[in-house]
Structure 1
Amino acid sequence: MSAALIVLILLAVLAIVVVSMTVKIVPQARSGIVERFGKYRTTLSAGLNIVVPFIDKVRYVIDLREQVVSFPPQPVITEDNLVVSIDTVIYFQVTDPVAATYEIANYIQAIEQLTMTTLRNITGGMTLEHALTSRDQINSGLRGELDSATGKWGIRVNRVELKGIDPPPSIIDAMEQQMRAERNKRAAILTAEGERQSAILTAEGDKQSAILTAEGQRQAQILTAQADRQAQILRSQGEAQAIQTVFQAIHDGNPDQKLLSYQYLQMLPKIAEGDNATTWIIPAELTKALGTLGGTIGSIPVDGGGSKTRVDYDASIEDDVAADTAATNEAVQEALDAAKAAENPATTAADLPSQEEPPPPPPAGGTPQA
């Protein structure tokens, strides 16, 4: 190999080295810190950059993206002297690559230590129960302290989260017992409340049942009374029609003294059938007594033309209670008037029309006179 070829090869290698030292490519979302003779010179942005070879040197490449760092659990003493372990997660971003490079030697370690001290300061003023229920307050306080402290380092803390707060096992057992007791208390309260509501609803149901029962009994009594009233009215109507029928039959038959005496003789055995009728007296002059009785009974006014109100034997009982009641009252009144006339001793046969001479027939549509 000739000396000229060796020189060419050396020049080519030197040119490649020079080009590689001159051209610098910085990836996206990163920044390059350039030093000249150990002193900061400039910051390279993302893309293709040209530097002076052998003089300028890219010392650091800083990542400008948001970074997530998780720190291991740290022991923290609360206000009530309980040791708990808290692990945190920090979300931060480099905003000034120069400050992050020259203001702090290791900003990740610095953030971790600052997080531990700040967390102990904040949690040390809280009880365990308050710390467990105030994560948002701890996160906001921790973020504010870290952001103000890391601002001069060119770092912005975006978010701080507590991954977990772990009390000692004995405290966990006590908390479980407390929680169990609280749940038992709530269960007992709910059970008592349910029994109270059940008793109230039962009493209300009994009240409504008693009211409905009383109302039903009232309606039943009203209906029973109305049924009894209707039954009595119908019974009275039947009796009135029976009396009216008997009177009509008597008037239609035009009885005389012999018939009345015969009916009297038929009633004598029935009089003797009574339990208390152990002794009864028959007059010796029975014929004379019957004649006297017939003369007395014969004074009953008899209308040869029939009864005043004719009864239709084939007619059915009307359902109209009002009309039947009026007719019944009229028939009963007539029967009472006839009975009073029969019981009046002042009435003589001379005052009544004889059987031989029947009274003139009543005018058409009128009521016959007694």
Structure 2
Amino acid sequence: MEQLIVALVLVAAVGFGVARTVRVIPQATAAVIERLGRYHRTLTPGLNLVVPFIDRVKEMIDLREQVVSFPPQPVITSDNLVVSIDTVVYFQVTNPKAATYEIANFLVGVEQLTITTLRNVVGGMDLEHTLTSREDINTALRGVLDEATGKWGIRVNRVELKAIDPPASIQDSMEKQMRADRDKRAAVLAAEGQRQAAILAAEGEKQASVLRARGEAEAAVLRAQAEAEAQAMRAKGQADAIHMVFKAIHEGKPDQQLLAYQYLQTLPEIAKGDANKVWIVPSEMGKVLENLFTPPKDAS
């Protein structure tokens, strides 16, 4: 019975020793091994063997990129305004030994270094520059952090500002200014629209006036041409009528008595009209009457 107990104890001791000898390290993880209190080596992912009771695991380091969001920090700008800034840092452990022995807690170190660097960078900017220069602040923070954390075995990949919150009074003033700017732009756009509309209306009226004047001028020219053609046709008609009368008279070979009779027929027409108050009988009237009442001579 005692031999069985001894055997069980020996098996348990061997099993415990084997368990302390074999170390399985997960992927993307590194184990820092100390031997008798001093750094010995860094175990890589997979199956590893260590000396039990002599070697021990000091730290298990996560080698993946880590994202740390720090609480809002009050920062004073160059124009003495306090703004609250939230930061997010993306970093990765590249040297597990340095991350274990060069700093007691690298997360706290990154946080404090981020806060102090942020205050230094933003302290040289005014509020307006701070609100509009996030990329510049991110770049400055990343450069300083990456340089300072290099000796800790840490690489800072990216730094982002989640929020920049100015004081409530400044926010209210900024909102009022933005509303005033929007109202101003709206008024300017409305005035510009009215000006453009007035210009277009005036231009349209001008073109319409030009077209009307051009149409009236062309119409006047056409009326004058038509009137001139009508007068020419009337004159031609009168000339043709006179020519026909003259031709008929000559072809009819009228005597003095016929002419005298026609002359007497025309005198009442001459006397017509309100303006004909006085008219003079020509001296040839006597000869006309004499020819009228003198019997014609015998042609034989």
TM-score (norm 1): 0.72
Q: Which residue of 2 aligns with 1:229?
A: 228
Q: Which residue of 1 aligns with 2:213?
A: 214
Deviations 1:213-244, CA, capped at 9 Å, x for gaps: 33222222222221111111111111112212
Return the index of the structure with the highest Cα Rg.
1
Contact 2:73 2:86 in 1 (8 A): yes
Q: Which residue of 1 aligns with 2:75?
A: 76
Q: Which residue of 2 aligns with 1:302?
A: none
1:238 matched to 2:237? The reply is yes
For structure 1, the 5+ residue unaligned runs are 296-355, 357-370
Q: Which residue of 1 aligns with 2:259?
A: 260
1:202, CA displacement in angstroms? 3.2
What is the identity percentage for the equivalent residue pairs of Structure 1 and Structure 2? 62
Deviations 1:239-267, CA, capped at 9 Å, x for gaps: 11221222233234333344334434433
Contact 1:260 1:294 in 2 (8 A): no
Q: Which residue of 2 aligns with 1:56?
A: 55
CA distance in 1, matches of 2:34, 2:273: 153
1:60, CA displacement in angstroms? 1.4
CA distance in 1, matches of 2:128, 2:209: 55
User: Secondary structure in 1 aligned to 2:189?
Assistant: helix
How many residue pairs match? The answer is 293
CA distance in 2, matches of 1:270, 1:62: 139
CA distance in 1, matches of 2:50, 2:293: 168
User: Secondary structure in 1 aligned to 2:53?
Assistant: coil
Task: Give the alignment of 1:83-122 within 5 angstroms.
Answer: 83-122=82-121
1:128, CA displacement in angstroms? 1.0
1:141 matched to 2:111? The reply is no
CA distance in 2, matches of 1:110, 1:148: 13
Q: Which structure: greater strand fraction?
A: 2
CA distance in 2, matches of 1:273, 1:124: 115
Q: Which residue of 1 aligns with 2:172?
A: 173
Contact 1:33 1:43 in 2 (8 A): yes
CA distance in 2, matches of 1:207, 1:234: 40
- Would you identify which runs of 4 or more consecutive aligned residues in structure 1 move more than 6 Å? 278-283
Contact 2:260 2:288 in 1 (8 A): no
1:278, CA displacement in angstroms? 7.2
Q: Which residue of 2 aligns with 1:130?
A: 129
CA distance in 2, matches of 1:90, 1:175: 29
Contact 1:31 1:62 in 2 (8 A): yes
User: Structure 1 231/282 Cα, relative in aligned 2: closer, same or farther at 3 Å?
Assistant: closer
TM-score (norm 2): 0.87
CA distance in 1, matches of 2:180, 2:246: 96
Contact 1:261 1:294 in 2 (8 A): no
Task: Give the alignment of 1:151-170 within 5 angstroms.
Answer: 151-170=150-169
Which shows bigger deviation, 19-28 or 179-188?
179-188
User: Secondary structure in 2 aligned to 1:73?
Assistant: strand
- The code of the aligned residue for 1:41 comes to H
CA distance in 1, matches of 2:293, 2:96: 154
1:11, CA displacement in angstroms? 3.2
1:64, CA displacement in angstroms? 1.0
CA distance in 1, matches of 2:181, 2:280: 101
Deviations 1:68-93, CA, capped at 9 Å, x for gaps: 00001011111111111101000111
- The code of the aligned residue for 1:110 comes to G
Which of structures 1 and 2 has the larger relative contact order (alpha carbons within 8 angstroms, sep 6+)?
2
Q: Over aligned residue pairs, what C-alpha RMSD do you find? A: 2.7
